[in-house]
């Protein structure tokens, strides 16, 4: 069992989690991710199931105080407790999941189906959960966009090369889902350079959304009928 409740995801709430991490530049945590868009029978997008595999340093701190088994694994009950703590804390940060429809932000519901796994061979944790939309989105009515990111860019989410974007079932005829290219330009490079000078306690002014600038967007769209 964890000896401290600070082993949870949103670093704004849990600065103590990274107390042992050197005060290096933003970002401070790295996560390889995969997103599966959840599609209803009528072709509407109803949410997303995310998969995040974090770096070894995060996993070491998050699991501090947990009893490791002889084979290097952790009990499922302990990982379930950690998952519940993760999702409870993440709820205050929109789970780092942002949907838009025709450019307009969309509301999400409470995350479900949380799971977490530890890989003894590489010392990394993988967290999975599903985030539902409050209102399903019909891509025939406009482009549905998904971004997964930390607005403060404390955590750097990057898509895996292997099957980065999945769909739970086939889309309607004439519709497609795609992952857009990673945003790149001189202005973004300058912003990243600025962020690289910031320590882990730094917070952006006026809640500026840096993470969105670098986030790779997934989109679902349909041809005009």
Sequence spans of domains, the chain: 24-222
For residue 113, pLDDT beyond 90 = yes
Residue 29 to residue 111: CA distance in whole angstroms = 22
Mean pLDDT of the chain: 83
Average pLDDT over residues 151-180: 93
Q: What is the pLDDT at residue 17? A: 34
pLDDT tens column, 183-210:
666 666 666 666 665 555 656 565 656 6
pTM beyond 0.75: yes
Q: How far is CA 4 from CA 66, 68, 102, 114, 125, in A?
A: 10, 16, 43, 20, 18
pLDDT tens column, 133-151:
999 999 999 999 999 998 8
Q: What is the pLDDT at residue 15? A: 35
Q: What is the pLDDT at residue 71? A: 93
Pairing assessment for the beta strands 29-39 and 45-54 based on DSSP bridges: antiparallel
């Amino acid at each position: 069992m964890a000896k401290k409740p600070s082993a949870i995801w949103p670093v704004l709430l849990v600065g103590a989690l990274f107390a042992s991490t050197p005060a290096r530049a933003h970002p401070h945590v790295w996560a390889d991710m995969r997103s599966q868009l959840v599609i209803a029978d009528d072709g509407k997008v109803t949410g997303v199931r995310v998969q995040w595999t974090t770096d070894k340093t995060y996993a070491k701190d998050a699991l501090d105080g947990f009893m490791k088994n002889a084979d290097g694994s952790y009990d499922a009950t302990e990982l379930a407790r950690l998952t519940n703590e993760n999702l409870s804390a993440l709820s205050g940060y929109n789970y780092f999941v942002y949907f838009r429809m025709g450019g307009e932000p969309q509301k999400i519901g409470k995350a479900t189906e949380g799971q977490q796994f530890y890989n003894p061979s590489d010392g990394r944790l993988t967290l999975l959960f599903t985030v539902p939309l409050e209102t399903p989105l019909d891509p025939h009515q406009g482009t549905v966009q998904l971004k997964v990111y930390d607005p403060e860019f404390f955590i750097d989410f990057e898509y895996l090369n292997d099957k980065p974007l999945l769909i739970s079932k086939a889309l309607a005829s004439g519709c497609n889902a795609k992952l857009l290219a990673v945003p790149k330009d001189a202005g973004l490079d300058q912003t990243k350079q600025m962020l690289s000078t910031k320590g882990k306690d730094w917070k952006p002014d006026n809640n500026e959304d840096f993470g969105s600038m670098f986030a790779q967007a997934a989109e679902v769209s349909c041809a005009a009928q």
